[in-house]
Amino acid sequence: MSVTTAPRPQRLHRLERPAITGVLVREVVNFSSYWRSATFSSTVEPTIYLLAFGFGFGALVNNINGLEPVQFVATGTVATAVLFSAAFPAMFGTFVKYQFQRTYDAILAAPVDTEELVTAETLWIATRAGVYGCVPMVVAVFFGLEPSWGMLTVPLIGWVSGFGWANFGIMTAGFAKSIENFNYIVSAVLTPLFLLAGSFFPLDSFPTWLQVLGNLNPLHQTVELVRDAVFGTWEWNDLARLGLLVVFGLIMWRIAIYAMTRKLID
């Protein structure tokens, strides 16, 4: 007996648009069922940080690095919102989808490869993070942050940063043996990065070695880019900051694909 050969379809390639679109459609349709809770958690928490730290510091100091405390914290909290709406949904969402819901088994039985699956998931999460990241900034406008044209670039900055953090979350989920493993990542990685981002207080108030580490923190680069965009203080080194975020995103993307391939294909 011979193996059937006809009809032979067009050869399929890596990173195909229909495969990525298919996964994105699933995410968008699913989002319609949980957008309220996702939007609530991704916006309320950073907004509380903004109000608490912004007004809290405002009572203690008049300005931080030449900015009013609310302005300083509002622009810094954009990065926090990006982190919260990218890394955490990516970590927990990915883990739940492969471990409990078995969603990825169903998707990978269709003509979708792990590389496409991870890429589509991270594109979707990055897009959400780009949008949600703007919320503290918009809220701050009502508390005195002056609108500027540069604010229009903030969703893009949030997207680029969110792409890296989404991949970071997927990577973490891919390597995690149980959902409890996330506690180590949150405590030992995300919390220090979050506090060492310059969101709530300037990095130059830290010891030199911490400043060096802080400058390698993609979240800090996000904070600086957002501030320069909102206040129109662009400098050439912002290109380097953007480059660092892109490199961070690309490295995380490839590692996330590797981790998920190990997890999903045995």
Partner 1 sequence: MERELAIRLRGAVKRYGEITAVDGLNLSVPVGTCVGLLGPNGAGKSTTMRLLTAQSIADEGEIEVLGFRLPEESKMARAQCGVVPQLDNLDVTLTVEQNLLVFSHLYRVPHTERKAAIERGLEMARLVDRRDTRVDKLSGGMRRRLLIARALIHRPRLVLLDEPTVGLDPQVRQQLWALIDALRTEGTTILMSTHYIEEAQRLADTVLIMSHGECAATGPPSELVLKHAGREVLEVYGPPARLAEVEAQAQSEGLRTRRTGTSISILNVDGFRGFEGERRPANLEDVFVLLTGEEIG
153 binds partner 1 (CB under 8 A): no
Interface residue with partner 1, options 45, 68, 113, 121 (CB under 8 A):
113
For residue 180, the tally of other CB atoms under 10 A from its CB is: 8
4 binds partner 1 (CB under 8 A): yes
**Shortest distance, CB of residue 9 to partner 1, whole angstroms?**
6
Provide CB contacts within 8 A for 139, sequence distance 6+.
Answer: 47, 50, 74
1 binds partner 1 (CB under 8 A): yes
191 binds partner 1 (CB under 8 A): no
For residue 204, the tally of other CB atoms under 10 A from its CB is: 10
Nearest residue (CB) to partner 1, 220 versus 263 = 263
* Helices 237-264 + 114-132 axis angle, to 10: 140
Mask 235-264, x = binds partner 1 (CB under 8 A)?
A: -----------------------------x
Task: Name which of residues 15 to 44 contact partner 1 (CB under 8 A).
Answer: 18-19, 21-23, 25-26, 29-30, 33-34
Nearest residue (CB) to partner 1, 29 versus 60 = 29
Judge residue 102's burial from the number of C-beta atoms within 10 Å of its C-beta, 0-12 exposed, 13-18 middle, 19 or more buried. exposed
CA nearest 218: which of 186, 196, 188?
196
Nearest residue (CB) to partner 1, 13 versus 59 = 13
Contact in structure between 206 and 214 (CB atoms under 8 Å)? yes
Nearest residue (CB) to partner 1, 2 versus 178 = 2
188 binds partner 1 (CB under 8 A): no
Rounded to 5 degrees, what angle do the CA atoms 28, 21, 38 make? 20
Which tokens sit at 181? 């493993």
**Shortest distance, CB of residue 18 to partner 1, whole angstroms?**
5
Nearest residue (CB) to partner 1, 211 versus 261 = 261
Contact in structure between 27 and 121 (CB atoms under 8 Å)? yes
Contact in structure between 167 and 90 (CB atoms under 8 Å)? yes
Nearest residue (CB) to partner 1, 3 versus 60 = 3
List the beta bridge partners of residue 67. 64
Residues that bind partner 1 (rule: CB under 8 A) add up to a total of 36
Mask 69-108, x = binds partner 1 (CB under 8 A)?
A: --------------------------------xxx-xxxx
Q: What is the enclosing helix (H) or strand (E) of 157?
A: helix 154-175
Residues that bind partner 1 (CB under 8 A): 1-6, 8-9, 11-12, 18-19, 21-23, 25-26, 29-30, 33-34, 101-103, 105-113, 264-266
